[in-house]
């Protein structure tokens, strides 16, 4: 791809004295190697500051994550904070994960905030994202940020922004911050000279306060006491989870936690995995191998910033299997509500939250226990928004989404793998106390509430053309929605971009009641649900599938699971998504 004049002008700007020698050298090397496609992708646009912040491949360029794109974003956020809280001492908290350049990026952000007269609380070393959310509320900060790219491949990093309630920014602040960031046209507008007197270290004291709140989530400490030697294998996948997850488990009373030592050291190169994503079996393999040797009861794995958790258990045949995000969210909801009821802790004000692409069994569980369930768009900022709107009126118990994120209690306002690990271990202990494995508990859960099976396909479309292809796919689905899928009529079309739900049998329309989001859902005659959604953080378009299947007894589970899987494959083949 030949470089356009606009891209060449941008490259020339980045080769001026406003940028450092390391940046110059990286660009010159790409030029010398005639890497025009790579240069084009690095400079064809500015790295977008979206509603959650920045995320991108690290390197030189306006479309890359580096000290300059980070600096301009931080300066824009600083300007907005100064406008929003005039005459106040403004405080921000900053954390970072184990990725390459994360400590440096965190220091750069801290320096820019301080240079703008803002008080900074900077974690002394890597910490989980949920602790950052907790710190904002605990320290009375107006904002906060964490340097992380979650479970993206090692080439990525990011900058996630939070507001004073500890949640990721929402309207109107998200758009207002974006406007201020876009108003920074030059790196000369960025105040890089730090004021060290305004930067304060965070460490063990805040860890203790956070862990104390995690411990308070425990519902059945007696079961843990009886099953304290439950065999747990834990891997942080070279991330921040190692700082708090083992402590949280020990604090609840678990005495037999085995760490995957080869993955215990934080390392941004993630040397033992292709991708540090606990959704993928290959990332979990070392933990699974260790669990087999130890004949463990439960495997836990957290992603680099410890906001997502994946689990594995033994099935009825003694084979280790991964429990997917929908199943884990359902199990947690089932445990939280049934254990609270058994402990006489339920109140009429209790509620749970789950997203529109998460299994509807969560709603069925809530109805079974007479608990209110709310649905939101994808993203924990929307779950946090409901908590914020209902604060003082209703009591948030827990919530989650299919992408391995869960939030229990409201002292953190984002997904939290540390507290989720603690409650998942307690749930496994409670099941074992009743003579059941966690897998058997899951089968019993589906017998009680109804059996759902879900599946996800992610189509990666990289670069400028890839982004265009994703938009074209969504436009085609809107312009020509399928009338039937896998031989079943589509009876309802939900377009969350327009905010309309259309019953195709009656042609009647109703409102979604949610803010606009680029998501389409097709509901089939038998209740199956297919959702199409471009990712907000990765160059992907995601298709979610959910089907129901009759289940009459535990011995029928394998067959029901097989039939449901075949139904999903028929849908995928008919939509030509393979």
Catalytic machinery residues: 150
CA distance 49 to 26: 23
Q: With contact defined as beta carbons under 8 Å apart, do 553 and 464 qualify?
A: no
CA distance 440 to 70: 47
Ramachandran quadrant class, 128 (left: phi over 0; alpha: psi -120 to 50; beta: rest): beta
The DSSP-derived string for 515-555 is ---S-EEEEETTS-EEEEEE-SSSSEEEEEEEEEE---SGG
Burial degree of 205 (CB within 10 A; 0-12, 13-18, 19+): exposed
CA distance 430 to 438: 9
Residue 563: CB atoms within 10 Å: 16
Q: With contact defined as beta carbons under 8 Å apart, do 428 and 257 qualify?
A: no
CA distance 422 to 246: 9
Asked if the bond preceding 131 is cis, omega within 30° of 0, the reply is no
Residues in a beta bridge with 406: 400
477's tokens: 């689905």
CA distance 162 to 51: 10
Looking at the chain, the number of H-run helices and the number of E-run strands are 18, 23
CA distance 84 to 92: 13
Helices 438-449 and 361-368 cross at an angle (nearest 10°) of 80
CA distance 497 to 512: 10
* Helices marked H in 343-484: 361-368, 380-390, 417-433, 438-449, 463-479
Q: With contact defined as beta carbons under 8 Å apart, do 474 and 498 qualify?
A: no
């Amino acid at each position: 791809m030949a470089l356009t004049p606009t891209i060449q002008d941008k490259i020339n700007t980045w080769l001026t004295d406003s940028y450092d020698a390391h940046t110059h050298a990286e660009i010159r090397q790409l030029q010398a190697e005639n890497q025009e496609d790579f240069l084009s992708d690095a400079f064809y646009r500015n790295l977008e500051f979206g509603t959650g912040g920045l995320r991108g491949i690290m390197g030189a360029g306006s479309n890359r994550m580096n000290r300059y794109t980070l600096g301009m974003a931080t300066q824009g956020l600083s300007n907005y904070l100064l406008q929003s809280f005039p005459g106040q001492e403004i405080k921000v908290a900053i954390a970072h994960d184990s990725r390459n350049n994360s400590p440096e990026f965190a220091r750069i952000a801290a320096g820019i905030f301080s240079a703008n007269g803002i008080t900074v609380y900077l974690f002394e070393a890597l910490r989980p994202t949920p602790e950052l959310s907790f710190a904002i509320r605990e320290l009375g900060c107006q904002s906060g940020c964490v340097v992380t790219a979650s479970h993206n491949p090692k080439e990525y990093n990011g900058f996630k922004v939070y507001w004073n309630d500890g949640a990721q920014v929402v309207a109107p602040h998200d758009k207002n911050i974006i406007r201020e960031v876009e108003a920074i046209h030059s790196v000369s507008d960025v105040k890089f000279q730090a004021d060290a007197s305004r930067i304060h270290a965070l460490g063990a004291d805040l860890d203790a306060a956070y862990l104390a709140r995690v411990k308070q989530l425990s519902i059945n400490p007696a079961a843990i006491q009886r099953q304290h030697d439950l065999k747990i294998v834990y891997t942080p996948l070279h991330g921040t989870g190692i700082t708090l997850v083992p402590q949280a488990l020990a604090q609840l009373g678990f005495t037999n936690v085995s760490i995957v030592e080869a993955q215990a050291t934080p390392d941004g190169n993630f040397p033992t995995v292709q991708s540090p994503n606990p959704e993928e079996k290959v990332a979990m393999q070392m933990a699974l191998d260790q669990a087999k040797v130890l004949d463990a009861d439960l495997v836990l794995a957290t992603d680099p910033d410890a906001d997502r958790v994946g689990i594995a258990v033994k099935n009825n045949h003694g084979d280790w299997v991964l429990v997917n995000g929908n199943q884990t969210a359902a199990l947690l909801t089932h445990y939280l509500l049934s254990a609270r009821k058994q402990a006489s802790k339920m109140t009429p004000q209790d509620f749970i939250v789950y997203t529109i692409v998460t299994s509807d069994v969560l709603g069925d569980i809530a109805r079974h226990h007479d608990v209110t369930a709310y649905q939101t768009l994808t993203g924990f900022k929307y779950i946090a928004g409901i908590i914020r709107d209902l604060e003082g009126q209703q009591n948030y118990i827990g919530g989650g989404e299919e992408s391995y994120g869960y939030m229990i209690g409201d002292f953190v306002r984002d997904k939290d793998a540390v507290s989720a690990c603690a409650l998942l271990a307690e749930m496994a202990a409670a099941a074992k106390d009743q003579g059941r494995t966690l897998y058997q508990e899951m089968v019993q859960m589906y017998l009680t509430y109804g059996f759902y099976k879900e599946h996800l396909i992610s189509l990666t479309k990289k670069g400028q053309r890839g982004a265009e292809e994703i938009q074209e796919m969504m436009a085609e689905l809107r312009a020509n929605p399928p009338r039937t899928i896998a031989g079943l009529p589509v009876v309802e079309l939900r377009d969350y971009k327009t905010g309309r739900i259309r019953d195709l049998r009656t042609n009647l329309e109703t409102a979604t009641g949610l803010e606009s989001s680029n998501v389409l859902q097709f509901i089939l005659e038998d209740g199956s649900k297919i959702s199409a959604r471009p990712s907000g953080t990765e160059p992907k378009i995601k298709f979610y599938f959910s089907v129901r299947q009759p289940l009459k007894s535990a011995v029928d589970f394998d067959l029901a699971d097989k039939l449901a899987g075949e139904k999903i494959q028929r849908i995928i083949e008919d939509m030509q998504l393979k």
